[in-house]
Copies of this chain bind each other. A is one copy, B any other.
Amino acid sequence: MIEAHRSSWTDVSDHLATVSSVAILPFGATEAHGPHLPLGTDTMVADEVARRIAEEFDAVLLPPVHYGDTWGTAGYPGTMSLSTETVAAIAVDLGRAASAAGARLFVIVNGDFGNRIPLALATRTLATIEGFTALTIDYPGMDDAIESVRVALPAAPGLNHAEEAETSIILALDPDAVHPDRYRSEYPEFPADFGLRPMQVHRFSASGVFGDPSHATADKGRAILDATVAESVRRLRPLVESLDRS
């Protein structure tokens, strides 16, 4: 694995040409995660998962995109949201550049729910480049891993935001950035049309916590990360191997 941020262009282009034609981009966010977790939570997770996938496939790891489409939490001051169009444009521009650099597989490790739509649009645009595949990994296996370690219920099914699971992961990655003294449990009352349309969640959650972080541990976080990386690698391996053969 080589890290593009600290490598020269000659090293990166040589690596893509002779070692592995896979480039991995962590796409994060700078987004409110309650009073106890840092704004960089999503970027930290995406960067870690991307790094470990890159190691597994000896790929080129690109520097993270620190900002995402976090319209849903933009009501909390401190969330730094890009528009849908901006996120899609970043991914398209970087996909094209990765292709020009010699990558044949471009894997975006997505760290935020809000990026799903723009990244889907981007990979569709990038689908027109011949001999190049761009795709997004949305933490496959993470939900199952969370279920197997979780003690507290989530505020809504599939909504893992600033609660036990996310807190556990940051405890594993950057424990000094977590404030256990500020843990609070919040189970908001959701509006009747929750799930039927995009919503800005500050309207019904004062803290931006969706569940109860109090049972979080670094061990749980490591287990969730391990499972997510393992499942990501399992899904990507056939694609990476097909590149090696072609």
Interface residues of A (CB under 8 A from B): 4-13, 16, 30-40, 43, 62-67, 71, 74, 76-86, 89-90, 93-94, 97-98, 100-102, 117, 120-121, 123-124, 127, 133-137, 174, 176-177, 179, 182, 192-193, 196-200, 208, 235, 238-239, 242
The minimal Cβ–Cβ distance linking A106 to chain B, given in whole angstroms, is 10
The minimal Cβ–Cβ distance linking A167 to chain B, given in whole angstroms, is 12
Identify whether the interface residues of A are mostly helix, strand, loop, or mixed. Answer: mixed
Contact (Cβ within 8 A) B86 A100: no
Within 8 Å CB of A36, what residues of B? 8
Docked complex Cα distance between A90 and B94 (Å): 14
Docked complex Cα distance between A163 and B32 (Å): 41
Contact (Cβ within 8 A) A239 B192: yes
Contact (Cβ within 8 A) B81 A93: yes
Partner of A89, one of B7, B86, B196: B86
Number of copies: 6
Name which residue of chain B comes closest to A101, CB basis.
B77
Contact (Cβ within 8 A) B196 A136: yes
Within 8 Å CB of A82, what residues of B? 89-90, 93-94
The 4 nearest A-B residue pairs measured at CB: A9-B78, A5-B40, A9-B32, A63-B66
Contact (Cβ within 8 A) B123 A117: no
Within 8 Å CB of A9, what residues of B? 31-35, 39, 76-79, 208
Contact (Cβ within 8 A) B74 A85: no
Within 8 Å CB of A80, what residues of B? 4, 62, 94, 97-98, 101
Partner of A8, one of B37, B117, B124, B174: B37
Within 8 Å CB of A192, what residues of B? 238-239, 242
The minimal Cβ–Cβ distance linking A14 to chain B, given in whole angstroms, is 9
A197-B238 CB under 8 A given contacts A8-B179, A39-B7, A77-B102: no
Partner of A34, one of B5, B8, B100: B8
Contact (Cβ within 8 A) B78 A101: yes
Partner of A6, one of B6, B40, B89: B40
New A-B contacts (12) at CB < 8 Å, excluding given A4-B80, A63-B67, A117-B121: A4-B39, A5-B66, A8-B39, A9-B32, A9-B77, A10-B78, A13-B76, A81-B93, A83-B89, A86-B90, A127-B199, A133-B197
